[in-house]
Amino acid sequence: MDEVVLRKSYDVEAGDFESAGDASAGIKATLKRLGVPTGIVRRVAIAAYESEINLIIHSMGGSLTLTVDGESVCLVSDDRGPGIASIEKALQAGWSTAPDSVRSLGFGAGMGLPNMKKNADEFQIDSTVNVGTHIVMRFHLS
Closer CB to ligand ATP, residue 2 or residue 122? 122
Q: Which of 16, 22, 71, 19 is nearest to 48 (CA)?
A: 22
| Binding-site string for another protein from residue 7 to residue 36, where x marks contact by CB under 8 A and - marks none | ----------x--xx--xx--x--------
Stretch that binds ligand ATP, among 4-12, 16-24, 38-46, 52-60 (CB under 6 A): 52-60
Interface residues for another protein in 89-128 (CB under 8 A)?
105-112, 114-115, 118
Which amino acid is residue 87, in one-letter code?
I
Q: Per this entry, what is the length of the chain?
A: 142
Contact 59, 44 (CB under 8 A): no
The answer to the question of residue 128 lying near ligand ATP (CB under 6 A) is: no
For position 132 contacting Mg ion by CB under 5 A, the verdict is no
Nearer to another protein, 25 or 125 (CB): 25
> Are 59 and 90 a contacting pair, CB within 8 Å?
no
CA distances 91 to 21, 27, 35, 61, 70, Å, are: 22, 24, 32, 20, 30
**Which residues are near Mg ion by CB under 5 A?**
54, 112
